[in-house]
A and B are shown apart, each in its own frame.
Chain A
């Protein structure tokens, strides 16, 4: 299985300031079709996960543009340009390049 490792596991942030989460995979996430299937999910307290970013850098419908994704190969980053109160929660990276799908441990974003 591909192991996904996120850093940090906990991130105290200041409202209005940027935040960044890293995700590293144990193998390259470049699929044989040339795509890289790395996505980012947000889980607010008591809620199911919500898709934010797919294929490294594509924002899902309705996701604010303060969220952005970047990276390639085995190293990926989720950035929030200016943190808002509603951004509190746990963020997961997920790979869909290889079966089984696997997730990072989660990064808790707290104000």
Chain B
């Protein structure tokens, strides 16, 4: 069974860089697309971007200047970096698998990241 698990600091200071990692098990990372999606408390979902195992990426233009997604196939994990964070970046961050056939089929449990001033 495909499982994803996010890890990283739960508190980040304003203007610093948010860094999260997603460990993948039960599936080869050398297929599919691997996504980051976030959800501010009590609000809706926002797609951040994804990476293919080859390293090609696609980012949400609204975040593109601040986002980097990378993949480590040897460790079967992928990562998110979001720079220059503000309070508006406070959210539950989910890693997920994008099937590549137009749907996101497996999600991690999510991790709350709070940006403090």
Contact = CB atoms under 8 A, between A and B. Distances in A.
Contacts of A55: 101-103
Interface in B32-76: 44-47, 49, 58-62
A103 B48 CA distance: 12
B46 A48 contact: no
A106 B104 contact: no
Nearest to B94: A48
A86 to B, nearest CB: 18
Given A48-B108, A103-B44, A103-B47, A96 B102 contact: yes
A94 interface: yes
Interface in A1-42: 31, 35, 37, 39, 41
A54 B59 CA distance: 22
Contacts of B109: 48
A86 B33 CA distance: 30
14 contacts: A37-B102, A39-B102, A41-B45, A48-B109, A49-B45, A49-B104, A51-B103, A54-B105, A55-B101, A60-B103, A94-B103, A96-B103, A100-B62, A101-B47
Given A60-B105, A92-B45, A97-B102, 14 more contacts: A35-B102, A41-B104, A49-B94, A49-B104, A50-B107, A51-B104, A54-B101, A92-B44, A96-B103, A100-B47, A101-B47, A101-B104, A102-B47, A103-B47
Interface of A: 31, 35, 37, 39, 41, 48-51, 54-55, 60, 92, 94, 96-97, 99-106
